[in-house]
Amino acid sequence: MMRNSTANGSTEAGITPLSRGELVPQAFRGVVASVFEHAANIRPDDERMLVTLVTRMPAMSARALLLPRLPCGLRAGATVNAAHGRIVFEGSEGGPIRVEDSPLYGGRIAAAAVPPGRPVVTALRRALGEHGAPNGLLGLVDSRASTLFSRHAARVLSGGDAFRRLSELVGLGPGLTPSGDDFIMGALAGEALLGAHDARIEPSAIEKRVAAGAVTTEVGATMVLLALGGRFPAYISLCAQELAAAEARSRTGVLRKGTAPVDPRQTRMMVVRAVCKAVGYGATSGSDALVGLLWRLAASVGD
């Protein structure tokens, strides 16, 4: 196994990702922008979007590398050089990361054969009210969780031009990924799940606002731009798929003759499990993304 020499003469085995996002560039130079316990962000010199190192599958995206651990000694400000299937962190003990044979992650959400209907949407709303993070934009679902940000979002989304004004939520709220960005990503995930026949969101307005600069964080901008391209982090992609599965399950007794009617409680439990897994991502990111997903699905059923 390849080993990397460190300043004190010790060695560290190169790290092989468990998965590589399909949009992670093969070669680039950049700098480590930020380091956290389970993630680090790299800012390439010549690209708009970050490359992220993550150690937890829910955070996986098309611009991320899923690692068993972060490189030792990784620090903000370190120079990064990616080439020939390796990512090297200059001036750091960490690395290299060896990416050539890593399985790919795309992050696309397939349109559901039968889009979630009113019972699944109702179950999603109820589950979010019971399990969503009590800050961020949960106030759009449960008035008891009202915040300054959720009240502003409610004003933006009121009226018949909500889909046109969705871009005004870019950068709304504090945090590494602002609540408004998470909401938009969830809404785009809902639109992907519904399929092209129910496309209502205007992506150009959102992209233009993100491109304006200084409107949101680098992480938020990256996630919104990925979502505009139909690429979503694993936690929201999995939740969308599970909602589609809940809808298919709820219709089993109708679509297949000779089968017993499906117990509605089973469908609700499938939705609750999907919600509980997703809202655990970040402080409010998972919850805010599901609020956006709910908003988009609710519009499709006239709810």
Q: How far is CA 282 from CA 58, 140, 242, in A?
A: 10, 19, 20
> Do the Cβ atoms of 157 and 295 come closer than 8 Å?
yes
Specify the pLDDT at position 8. 34
pLDDT tens digits, 227-280 = 999 999 999 999 999 999 999 888 765 545 555 556 778 889 999 999 999 999
The token duo for 96 is 């290299």
CB 179 within 8 A of CB 216: no
Q: Is there a cis peptide before residue 96, judged by omega within 30 degrees of 0?
A: yes
| Complete DSSP assignment for the chain | --EEE-TTS-EEEPBPPSEEETTS-SSEEEEEEEE-SSEEEEEETT-SS-EEEESSGGG--TTEEE-SSPPTT--TT-EEEEETTEEEEETSS---EE-TTPPEE----PPPSS---HHHHHHHHHHHHHHS-SSTTGGGT-GGG--HHHHHHHHHH-STTHHHHGGGGTT-SSSSS-HHHHHHHHHHHHHHHH-GGG----HHHHHHHHHTSSSS-HHHHHHHHHHHTT---HHHHHHHHHHHHHHHHHTHHHHSTT-PPPPHHHHHHHHHHHHHHHHTSTTTHHHHHHHHHHHHHHHHTT-
For the beta carbon of residue 13, count every other beta carbon within 10 angstroms.
11
Specify the residue for token string 């590398």.
Answer: 65
Low-confidence ranges of the chain (pLDDT < 70): 1-13, 92-95, 252-262
Contacts 24+ apart (CB under 8 A), 36-42: 38/70, 39/70, 40/70, 40/74, 41/218, 41/219, 42/80
Query: What's the half-sphere exposure (Cβ side, CA atoms, 13 Å) at 145?
Result: 20
Q: Report strand pairing: 79-83 vs 86-90.
A: antiparallel
- Comparing C-alpha atoms, which of 149, 218, 145, 130 is closest to residue 177? 218
Tell me if 185 sits within 8 A of 171, measured CB to CB: no
The whole-model pTM stands at 0.91
Name 31's bridge partners: 43, 79
Read off the tokens for 201.
């969101």
pLDDT at 78: 92
